[in-house]
Amino acid sequence: MGSSERRVAIVTGGSRGIGRAVSARLAADGQAVAVVYAHNTGEAEGAVADITAAGGRALALRADVADEDAVAEVFDLVEREFGGVDVVVNSAGVMILKSVAELDLADLDRMHRTNIRGTFVVDQQAARRVRSGGAIVNLSTSVTRLSPPTYAAYAASKGAVEAIGPVLAKELRGRDITVNAVAPGPTATDLFLDGKDEETVERLAGMNPMERLGRPEDIAEVVSFLAGPGRWVNGQTLYANGGMA
């Protein structure tokens, strides 16, 4: 199969956590994958090495998702290397937890830049370049429904992410491209576990009927569906949280 015949995915935040699991799953599904990362070159190269060792095709590309020139260059490189772009998954994100009264506004701006502007910038290039039959998947969060204390700024940024999808889906009318969001519940990633004691983790794990935290692979399975066979799901947010809400 030539590069022009294989489906091709770009996964931002693809070197760690949910993004890494998504990169591995899409590669296992037969897609060539561009693992886009912000800082940790070693993690990104490790993700690519794992995909390659399993017989897949992947490359690592460093970029700030909020920088439109850097993102355009990522799409240029992927098109040259793999022949086009079919799937774009926005998994890059920043989560800083403080009450509204205590949050440093610099942290609010940091989350806004990555979570909202970054998603918009990547979606903008995706809207221009994804081939017919493709899919755009943005990552949100179940805390937009649960509204726990200290999550206001993060939930607000992800609420904006959820608002983009239905609009973009309508703007892409006639091109056979779906746009959806996946909203994970508590998932066992470094981003989620950072700063939480064992009691807190156990309490959160018990909040859904499955009585466990999600695994990155659980979320990757949902993304795989939307990126492949789930062609009749469009403009939606899918809550992948084990029944928490």
Residues 188 and 20: their CA atoms lie apart, in Å, by 13
Decide if 218 contacts 243 (C-beta within 8 A): no
239 noted as active-site residue: no
Q: Which amino acid is at 16?
A: R
Helix (H) or strand (E) holding 105: helix 105-111
Catalytic residue among 37, 151, 154, 239: 154
DSSP one-letter string for 5-74: TS-EEEEETTTSHHHHHHHHHHHHTT-EEEEEESS-HHHHHHHHHHHHHTT--EEEEE--TT-HHHHHHH
**Active site positions, annotated:** 154
